[in-house]
Each structure stands twice: as C-alpha cells, then as structure tokens.
Amino acid sequence: MCVGSSRERLTLDNMPSFNEVISFAEKIGDACGRKIVNDSEISRVVLLE
C-alpha cells in the first residue's frame, strides 16, 4: 500500500495486483520451503510461514 508522502505521487496502478503478489509469494515460498498461511487482498499482502 502507498503510505506517507508516497500517496501524493503514486496510484494503485503503481502497485502489483493481488494475483501478482500471490504468484511472487508462491515463488519465494517454493524457493525457501515456506507456504502461504494468510493473505489480505485489500492490502495486497501475503504471510509466509
């Protein structure tokens, strides 16, 4: 999410989509033996464990 003064110069178009975040997190998880245990689509975040 855009926070602080970045909200004045960035839009949602500057952020990856939730599907892109999930895909990236899955790749990271596969590389280090972790799995997705939680996520928040509205915040576009993923928790790996």
Task: Write the pLDDT tens digit of every residue in 4-42.
Answer: 898 899 988 888 999 999 999 999 999 999 999 999 999
Exposure string over 12-46, b if 16+ CB within 10 A, otherwise e: eeeeeebeebbeebeeebeeeeeeeeeeeeeebeb
Q: Are 10 and 2 in contact (CB under 8 A)?
A: yes
**What residue has token string 């990236």?**
24
Q: Where are the beta strands (DSSP E) in the chain?
A: 36-40, 45-48
Q: What pLDDT was estimated at residue 11?
A: 87
pTM of the model: 0.78
